[in-house]
Protein backbone atom coordinates (compact mmCIF):
# COMPACT_ATOMS: atom_id res chain seq x y z
CA UNK A 1 0.00 0.00 0.00
CA UNK A 2 1.02 3.63 -0.51
CA UNK A 3 0.05 6.59 1.64
CA UNK A 4 0.05 9.90 -0.24
CA UNK A 5 0.57 12.49 2.43
CA UNK A 6 2.58 15.35 3.89
CA UNK A 7 4.08 15.44 7.38
CA UNK A 8 2.78 18.94 8.21
CA UNK A 9 -0.88 18.17 7.65
CA UNK A 10 -2.90 16.87 10.62
CA UNK A 11 -5.10 14.62 8.47
CA UNK A 12 -2.41 12.22 7.21
CA UNK A 13 -0.93 12.29 10.73
CA UNK A 14 -4.16 10.75 11.95
CA UNK A 15 -3.61 7.91 9.46
CA UNK A 16 0.09 7.47 10.31
CA UNK A 17 -0.80 7.13 13.98
CA UNK A 18 -3.05 4.18 13.07
CA UNK A 19 -0.41 2.63 10.78
CA UNK A 20 2.28 2.89 13.47
CA UNK A 21 0.00 1.58 16.22
CA UNK A 22 -0.92 -1.45 14.11
CA UNK A 23 2.59 -1.98 12.73
CA UNK A 24 1.39 -1.72 9.12
CA UNK A 25 4.15 -0.98 6.61
CA UNK A 26 3.23 1.31 3.71
CA UNK A 27 5.21 3.30 1.18
CA UNK A 28 5.02 7.00 2.04
CA UNK A 29 4.69 9.31 -0.97
CA UNK A 30 4.68 13.11 -0.73
CA UNK A 31 2.72 14.37 -3.77
CA UNK A 32 3.73 17.63 -5.50
CA UNK A 33 1.92 20.95 -5.08
CA UNK A 34 1.23 21.06 -1.35
CA UNK A 35 1.95 23.77 1.24
CA UNK A 36 4.57 26.26 0.02
CA UNK A 37 5.31 24.29 -3.16
CA UNK A 38 4.60 26.17 -6.41
CA UNK A 39 4.32 22.89 -8.36
CA UNK A 40 1.08 21.59 -9.87
CA UNK A 41 -0.62 18.62 -8.25
CA UNK A 42 -0.54 16.93 -11.67
CA UNK A 43 -1.17 13.19 -11.71
CA UNK A 44 -1.98 13.16 -8.00
CA UNK A 45 -5.41 14.47 -9.03
CA UNK A 46 -5.99 11.16 -10.84
CA UNK A 47 -5.41 9.37 -7.53
CA UNK A 48 -7.45 11.80 -5.45
CA UNK A 49 -9.58 14.16 -7.57
CA UNK A 50 -10.41 16.11 -4.37
CA UNK A 51 -6.75 17.21 -4.45
CA UNK A 52 -6.19 16.79 -0.72
CA UNK A 53 -4.00 14.59 1.42
CA UNK A 54 -4.15 11.87 2.60
CA UNK A 55 -5.03 9.17 0.08
CA UNK A 56 -4.34 5.49 0.62
CA UNK A 57 -3.66 3.41 -2.47
CA UNK A 58 -4.11 -0.34 -2.10
CA UNK A 59 -1.78 -2.83 -3.78
CA UNK A 60 -4.38 -3.44 -6.51
CA UNK A 61 -4.52 0.31 -7.30
CA UNK A 62 -7.80 1.22 -5.59
CA UNK A 63 -7.48 4.63 -3.92
CA UNK A 64 -9.24 5.89 -0.80
CA UNK A 65 -9.29 9.57 0.28
CA UNK A 66 -10.42 11.11 3.63
CA UNK A 67 -8.50 10.40 6.81
CA UNK A 68 -11.41 9.12 8.89
CA UNK A 69 -12.51 6.70 6.18
CA UNK A 70 -8.93 5.48 5.69
CA UNK A 71 -8.58 4.87 9.45
CA UNK A 72 -11.85 2.92 9.52
CA UNK A 73 -10.69 0.87 6.51
CA UNK A 74 -7.38 0.08 8.22
CA UNK A 75 -9.25 -0.92 11.38
CA UNK A 76 -11.49 -3.30 9.42
CA UNK A 77 -8.68 -4.72 7.28
CA UNK A 78 -6.14 -5.01 10.14
CA UNK A 79 -8.23 -5.51 13.29
CA UNK A 80 -5.30 -6.24 15.65
CA UNK A 81 -4.37 -4.44 17.80
CA UNK A 82 -7.77 -2.79 17.92
CA UNK A 83 -7.96 0.99 18.13
CA UNK A 84 -11.67 0.86 18.87
CA UNK A 85 -12.65 1.01 22.55
CA UNK A 86 -14.11 -2.28 23.80
CA UNK A 87 -17.65 -1.23 24.69
CA UNK A 88 -20.41 0.60 22.84
CA UNK A 89 -20.27 3.72 25.07
CA UNK A 90 -16.49 3.96 24.69
CA UNK A 91 -16.83 3.66 20.90
CA UNK A 92 -19.53 6.33 20.90
CA UNK A 93 -17.28 8.66 22.91
CA UNK A 94 -14.34 8.04 20.56
CA UNK A 95 -16.51 8.83 17.54
CA UNK A 96 -17.96 11.90 19.24
CA UNK A 97 -14.53 13.30 20.12
CA UNK A 98 -13.30 12.74 16.55
CA UNK A 99 -16.43 14.36 15.14
CA UNK A 100 -16.24 17.40 17.46
CA UNK A 101 -12.66 17.78 16.37
CA UNK A 102 -13.39 17.44 12.64
CA UNK A 103 -16.39 19.73 12.63
CA UNK A 104 -15.68 22.49 15.16
CA UNK A 105 -11.93 22.53 15.76
CA UNK A 106 -10.86 22.00 12.16
CA UNK A 107 -13.39 24.55 10.88
CA UNK A 108 -12.13 27.11 13.41
CA UNK A 109 -8.56 26.49 12.25
CA UNK A 110 -9.32 27.00 8.52
CA UNK A 111 -8.86 30.84 8.49
CA UNK A 112 -5.57 30.35 10.36
CA UNK A 113 -4.32 27.91 7.70
CA UNK A 114 -5.32 30.53 5.11
CA UNK A 115 -3.46 33.33 6.91
CA UNK A 116 -0.35 31.17 7.24
CA UNK A 117 -0.12 30.97 3.45
CA UNK A 118 0.20 34.76 2.94
CA UNK A 119 2.58 37.42 4.25
CA UNK A 120 1.93 39.18 7.55
CA UNK A 121 1.03 42.39 5.69
CA UNK A 122 -2.00 40.63 4.29
CA UNK A 123 -3.20 39.29 7.63
CA UNK A 124 -6.64 40.36 8.77
CA UNK A 125 -5.91 40.50 12.50
CA UNK A 126 -9.58 40.75 13.50
CA UNK A 127 -10.32 37.61 11.49
CA UNK A 128 -7.35 35.84 13.06
CA UNK A 129 -8.48 36.76 16.58
CA UNK A 130 -12.03 35.62 15.82
CA UNK A 131 -10.67 32.30 14.57
CA UNK A 132 -8.45 31.89 17.65
CA UNK A 133 -11.48 32.55 19.87
CA UNK A 134 -13.42 29.91 17.91
CA UNK A 135 -10.54 27.47 18.37
CA UNK A 136 -10.79 28.04 22.12
CA UNK A 137 -14.56 27.46 21.99
CA UNK A 138 -14.06 24.23 20.03
CA UNK A 139 -11.45 23.00 22.52
CA UNK A 140 -14.11 23.60 25.18
CA UNK A 141 -16.43 21.18 23.34
CA UNK A 142 -13.83 18.41 23.77
CA UNK A 143 -13.26 19.17 27.46
CA UNK A 144 -16.21 17.28 29.03
CA UNK A 145 -15.62 14.18 26.89
CA UNK A 146 -11.87 13.76 27.05
CA UNK A 147 -10.65 10.83 29.13
CA UNK A 148 -8.75 11.34 32.36
CA UNK A 149 -6.39 8.34 32.11
CA UNK A 150 -4.03 9.94 29.59
CA UNK A 151 -5.97 8.71 26.56
CA UNK A 152 -8.95 10.23 24.77
CA UNK A 153 -11.08 7.26 25.83
CA UNK A 154 -10.28 4.56 28.41
CA UNK A 155 -6.71 3.51 29.02
CA UNK A 156 -5.43 2.75 25.51
CA UNK A 157 -4.75 4.53 22.26
CA UNK A 158 -7.84 4.80 20.02
CA UNK A 159 -8.96 6.48 16.82
CA UNK A 160 -10.03 9.44 18.94
CA UNK A 161 -6.39 10.13 19.90
CA UNK A 162 -5.55 9.96 16.20
CA UNK A 163 -8.12 12.65 15.45
CA UNK A 164 -7.27 14.90 18.40
CA UNK A 165 -3.48 14.83 18.79
CA UNK A 166 -2.63 16.25 15.32
CA UNK A 167 -5.10 19.11 15.87
CA UNK A 168 -3.95 19.91 19.40
CA UNK A 169 -0.34 20.41 18.34
CA UNK A 170 -1.59 23.02 15.87
CA UNK A 171 -3.98 24.71 18.33
CA UNK A 172 -1.59 24.69 21.30
CA UNK A 173 1.76 25.28 19.57
CA UNK A 174 1.67 26.16 15.87
CA UNK A 175 -1.08 28.83 15.83
CA UNK A 176 -0.02 30.70 19.03
CA UNK A 177 3.61 30.67 17.80
CA UNK A 178 2.79 31.93 14.31
CA UNK A 179 0.28 34.60 15.36
CA UNK A 180 2.13 35.58 18.52
CA UNK A 181 -0.82 34.97 20.79
CA UNK A 182 -0.99 33.09 24.12
CA UNK A 183 -1.54 29.36 23.83
CA UNK A 184 -5.03 28.21 24.86
CA UNK A 185 -3.28 25.45 26.83
CA UNK A 186 -4.57 25.70 30.38
CA UNK A 187 -7.96 27.16 29.45
CA UNK A 188 -9.37 23.64 29.60
CA UNK A 189 -7.70 21.74 32.43
CA UNK A 190 -8.84 18.20 31.53
CA UNK A 191 -7.66 18.65 27.95
CA UNK A 192 -4.38 20.16 29.16
CA UNK A 193 -3.75 17.15 31.41
CA UNK A 194 -4.61 14.79 28.57
CA UNK A 195 -2.19 16.66 26.28
CA UNK A 196 0.69 16.45 28.73
CA UNK A 197 0.14 12.72 29.50
CA UNK A 198 -0.68 11.41 26.01
CA UNK A 199 2.65 12.72 24.68
CA UNK A 200 4.32 10.01 26.77
CA UNK A 201 2.82 7.34 24.49
CA UNK A 202 5.57 6.31 22.02
CA UNK A 203 3.27 6.32 18.96
CA UNK A 204 1.96 9.78 19.84
CA UNK A 205 5.51 10.97 20.55
CA UNK A 206 6.58 9.71 17.12
CA UNK A 207 3.85 11.51 15.16
CA UNK A 208 4.41 14.69 17.17
CA UNK A 209 8.14 14.55 16.47
CA UNK A 210 7.42 14.20 12.75
CA UNK A 211 4.86 17.02 12.79
CA UNK A 212 7.04 19.48 14.72
CA UNK A 213 10.04 18.81 12.45
CA UNK A 214 7.88 19.19 9.32
CA UNK A 215 6.32 22.44 10.52
CA UNK A 216 9.66 24.06 11.20
CA UNK A 217 11.01 22.83 7.83
CA UNK A 218 7.91 24.19 6.10
CA UNK A 219 8.30 27.59 7.77
CA UNK A 220 11.88 27.81 6.52
CA UNK A 221 10.83 26.77 2.97
CA UNK A 222 7.91 29.25 2.95
CA UNK A 223 10.26 32.09 3.91
CA UNK A 224 12.72 31.14 1.17
CA UNK A 225 9.93 30.83 -1.44
CA UNK A 226 8.38 34.21 -0.63
CA UNK A 227 11.80 35.87 -0.75
CA UNK A 228 12.54 34.27 -4.13
CA UNK A 229 9.29 35.39 -5.80
CA UNK A 230 9.47 38.93 -4.37
CA UNK A 231 6.35 38.62 -2.22
CA UNK A 232 8.41 39.73 0.75
CA UNK A 233 8.94 37.57 3.77
CA UNK A 234 5.95 35.94 5.46
CA UNK A 235 6.93 37.85 8.57
CA UNK A 236 6.71 41.23 6.73
N1 LIG B 1 -11.43 15.93 5.39
C2 LIG B 1 -10.13 15.67 4.82
C3 LIG B 1 -9.28 16.92 4.94
C4 LIG B 1 -7.98 16.77 4.17
C5 LIG B 1 -7.33 18.14 3.95
O6 LIG B 1 -7.99 19.19 3.98
N7 LIG B 1 -6.03 18.11 3.72
C8 LIG B 1 -5.34 19.36 3.44
C9 LIG B 1 -3.95 19.33 4.05
S10 LIG B 1 -3.85 20.31 5.49
C11 LIG B 1 -5.15 19.50 1.95
O12 LIG B 1 -4.78 18.54 1.30
N13 LIG B 1 -5.41 20.71 1.42
C14 LIG B 1 -5.22 21.00 0.02
C15 LIG B 1 -3.91 21.68 -0.25
O16 LIG B 1 -3.13 21.90 0.70
O17 LIG B 1 -3.67 22.00 -1.40
C18 LIG B 1 -9.49 14.49 5.56
O19 LIG B 1 -9.81 14.27 6.74
O20 LIG B 1 -8.71 13.75 4.93
Indicate the pTM of the whole model: 0.94
Asked if residue 36 has pLDDT above 90, the reply is no
Residue 135 Cα, ligand 1 centroid: separation in angstroms?
A: 18
pLDDT at residue 231, as a whole number: 56
Give how far Cα 202 sits from Cα of 61, 197, 207, 214, Å.
32, 11, 9, 18
Task: Quote the ligand 1 centre to 148 CA distance (angstroms).
Answer: 30
Cβ contacts of 120-127, under 8 Å, gap ≥ 24: 120/234, 120/235, 120/236, 121/232, 121/236
Which residues, judged by CB distance below 6 Å to any ligand atom, belong to the binding site of ligand 1?
9, 11, 34, 51-54, 66-68
Domains plus CATH for the chain?
Answer: 2-77 (3.40.30.10), 88-228 (1.20.1050.10)
**pLDDT score at 226:** 67
Provide mean pLDDT across the span 6-35: 97
Cα(211)–Cα(165) distance, integer angstroms: 11
Q: Does the structure show a pLDDT above 80 at 64? A: yes
For 24-39, what is the mean pLDDT?
A: 93
**DSSP state string for the chain:** -EEE--SS-HHHHHHHHHHHHHT---EEE--SS-TT--S--TTHHHH-TT--S-EEE-TTS-EEE-HHHHHHHHHHHS-SS--S-SSHHHHHHHHHHHHHIIIIIHHHHHHHHHHHTS-GGG--HHHHHHHHHHHHHHHHHHTTTS-SSSSSSTTS--HHHHHHHHHHHIIIIIHHHHHT----TTSSHHHHHHHHHHTTSHHHHHHHHHHHHHHHHHHHHHHHHHHHTTS--TT-
Mean local confidence (pLDDT), 127-139: 98
Distance of alpha carbon 184 from alpha carbon 188, whole angstroms: 8
Q: Whose CA is nearest to atom 12 of ligand 1?
A: 52
- For range 37-56, the mean pLDDT: 96
Q: What's the 5 CA to ligand 1 centre distance in angstroms? A: 9
Q: Which residue has the CA at smallest separation from atom 13 of ligand 1?
A: 52
233 pLDDT above the threshold of 80: no
Amino acid sequence: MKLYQTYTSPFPTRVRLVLYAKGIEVEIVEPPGFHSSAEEKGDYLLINPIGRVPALVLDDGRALPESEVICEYLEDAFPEPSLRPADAWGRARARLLARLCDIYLVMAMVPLFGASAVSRKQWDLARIDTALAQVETALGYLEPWIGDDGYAVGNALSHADGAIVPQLVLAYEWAPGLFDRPSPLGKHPRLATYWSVVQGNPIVARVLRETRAAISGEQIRARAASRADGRGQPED
